[in-house]
Amino acid sequence: MAVRIIPEKCKGCQKCVKECPFGAISMQEKLAAVGPSCTNCGVCIDICPFGAIEKLDEGARGVDTTLYHDVWVFAEQRDGALMSVSVELLGEGKKLADEIGCKLCAILCGDGAEGLIGELFEYGADKVYYADAPELKSYNTDAYTKVIYQAIVKYKPEIVLLGATHIGRDLGPCLAVHCGTGLTADCTKLDIDPEDKKLMQTRPAFGGNLMATILCPNHRPQMSTVRPGVMEKPERVIGRTGERIDIAAAFKDGDIRIRVLEVIKGLTEQVSLTDAKVIVSGGAGLGGPEGFELIGRLADRLGGVVGASRATVDSGWIDHSHQVGQTGTTVKPQVYFACGISGAIQHLAGMQNSGYIVAINKNENAPIFEVADYGIVGDLYKVIPAILDVLG
Ligand code: FAD
Ligand code: SF4
Ligand code: SF4
């Protein structure tokens, strides 16, 4: 936005709200507030009878960053259970908050979800902002955006982190647009610049061929989504407590344009790659969908789950929920078997932090061997049955 309301001069007459041709001004706590749809037309400056609106020159665009404090984590709950990515973000958020010298906070929305507040304290939150309403029981874009946006305007967090889940990927951009700030999606690394304490958000760019570090220097909050499984979970400290702050959640007609009529769980087989201790993944080297039967036998024998490369998913051999990599799931099992997978950078991006990597490939020059702890050069149709024989 390119105009600014001068709070000391604004009398709350609402003239600018009615006259803005782009609907960019709303009232917040009796003062006018300019939103991101402002086109800088300048109409409101002349309209305000109290001289309370001024134009920002180019250099002054952005917000007064000194007003923003604390690191917030969106505590994503589904059916009253906290998503593990939110716990991971509390661990990462704590490190960032310590480096900045501020508090770690969680923002939780739900209907009777206060049972999770203690859990959030135990995973490191100093404060929990909690909104309770029937409309917030399950995720709803309009309802969650309204409540959290209002809380951001009121409490002014410096950083807001969300999981790069389907919900976080929907909510994050909506909030960023409302706040007129930026959002870096799918971050794999977050740091604080020791010089100016700004958030350095690193994510793969150009198909994963280089890592880009992105800053949000003039707008707040600094917002990132982070993929599940990338950050470490913090230790849970049973009995740790903090400050609970209840935030308003009132809706009027028209606020919520989306109605959830029914929730139908995916009919395809779903797999939980993020929590698995052992993953046995198959690639194009399987030669066809039937190869996953052998992969499944090894996974079952080791108490693990089946993963896949994108080549096999694109060929329709297995469901996308099994895909590991940049456009699939990021995983960190104790042991990862890559069977007939060449080791493209986009696949490595999703599994190279695994505890031990075992690669089976008939091409001794396959790039997967560069990240493997144990490499077996051979035909997977001979090697895997031999392993199963040894395991008995
Ligand atoms: P291939 O590269 O074809 O490798 C097959 C391997 O099997 C070869 O190394 C071969 O030597 C070996 N082999 C063949 N037969 C046998 C046998 N009998 N026994 C043992 N070894 C055998 N890929 C992902 O996996 N995940 C992603 O999330 C992902 N995201 C992407 C995002 C973008 C933007 C792009 C551009 C690409 C992405 N890809 C992703 C695709 C990636 O670049 C590769 O094309 C893909 O990973 C290759 O899959 P693969 O290793 O199974 O197949
Ligand atoms: Fe405030 Fe001026 Fe807008 Fe009236 S017209 S609400 S005084 S900014
Ligand atoms: Fe609306 Fe134009 Fe004022 Fe922006 S400058 S708030 S678009 S009237």
- Among the listed residues 170, 161, 281, the one whose alpha carbon sits nearest the alpha carbon of residue 230: 161
The conformational region for residue 171 under phi > 0 = left, psi -120 to 50 = alpha, else beta, is: alpha
Backbone angles phi, psi at 95, to 5 degrees: -60, -45
Confirm or reject: Cβ of 286 under 6 Å from ligand 3. no
pLDDT for the residue 121: 98
At 191-211, the pLDDT tens digits run 999 999 999 999 988 766 788
Confirm or reject: Cβ of 15 under 6 Å from ligand 2. yes
Reply yes or no on whether the pLDDT at 233 is more than 70: yes
- Residue 309 Cα: closest atom of ligand 1: 25
- Closest-CA residue, ligand 1 atom 8, reads 342
Distance 361 CA to ligand 1 centre (A): 11
| Residue to mutate, 16, 19, 30, ligand 2, most ligand atoms under 8 Å from C-beta | 16
Confirm or reject: Cβ of 7 under 6 Å from ligand 2. no
Radius of gyration for the chain, computed over Cα atoms and rounded to the nearest angstrom: 25
- Closest-CA residue, ligand 2 atom 3, reads 16
Do the beta carbons of residue 78 and residue 91 sit within 8 Å?
Answer: no
User: What's the mean pLDDT when you consider all of the chain?
Assistant: 93
Structure tokens at 140: 């709803």
Helix orientation angle between 380-391 and 291-301, rounded to the nearest 10 degrees = 30
- Among the listed residues 276, 286, 278, 290, the one whose alpha carbon sits nearest the alpha carbon of residue 311: 286
- Residue 19 Cα: closest atom of ligand 3: 8
CATH for 3-55 (3.40.50.1820, 3.40.50.2300, 3.30.70.20, 3.40.50.2000):
3.30.70.20
Residue intervals in the chain for CATH 3.30.70.20: 3-55
Do the beta carbons of residue 112 and residue 223 sit within 8 Å?
Answer: no
- Closest-CA residue, ligand 2 atom 4, reads 13
Structure tokens at 106: 């969680």
Question: Residue 160 contacts by C-beta under 8 Å, 6 or more apart in sequence?
Answer: 72, 73, 74, 152, 175, 221, 222, 223, 224
Confirm or reject: Cβ of 5 under 6 Å from ligand 3. no
Distance 386 CA to ligand 1 centre (A): 23
CATH class of the 278-391 domain in this structure:
alpha beta
At 252-284, the pLDDT tens digits run 988 999 888 887 776 555 678 988 999 999 999
Distance 38 CA to ligand 2 centre (A): 15
Confirm or reject: Cβ of 26 under 6 Å from ligand 3. no
- Among the listed residues 301, 320, 302, the one whose alpha carbon sits nearest the alpha carbon of residue 311: 320
Q: Which ligand is nearest to the CA of 15?
A: 2
Residue intervals in the chain for CATH 3.40.50.1220: 278-391
pLDDT for the residue 266: 64
pLDDT for the residue 4: 87
- Among the listed residues 192, 184, 188, 269, the one whose alpha carbon sits nearest the alpha carbon of residue 229: 188
At 318-360, the pLDDT tens digits run 999 999 998 899 899 999 999 999 999 999 999 999 999 999 9
CA–centroid distance for 210 within its chain: 20
Do the beta carbons of residue 350 and residue 186 sit within 8 Å?
Answer: no
| Residue to mutate, 337, 346, 348, ligand 1, most ligand atoms under 8 Å from C-beta | 346
Structure tokens at 272: 């939980």
Reply yes or no on whether the pLDDT at 35 is more than 60: yes
Confirm or reject: Cβ of 12 under 6 Å from ligand 2. yes
CA pair distance 188, 230, nearest whole angstrom:
6
Distance 24 CA to ligand 3 centre (A): 6
Mean pLDDT value of segment 5-30:
92
Does CATH number 3.40.50.620 belong to domain 65-247?
yes
Residue intervals in the chain for CATH 3.40.50.620: 65-247
Distance 10 CA to ligand 2 centre (A): 5
- pTM of the full structure: 0.68
- Closest-CA residue, ligand 1 atom 36, reads 207
Residue 364: band (very low, low, confident or very high) from pLDDT cuts 50, 70, 90: very high
At 128-182, the pLDDT tens digits run 999 999 999 999 999 999 999 999 999 999 999 999 999 999 999 999 999 989 9
User: Which residues on neighbouring strands pair with residue 205, listed in sequence order?
Assistant: 210
Confirm or reject: Cβ of 155 under 6 Å from ligand 1. no
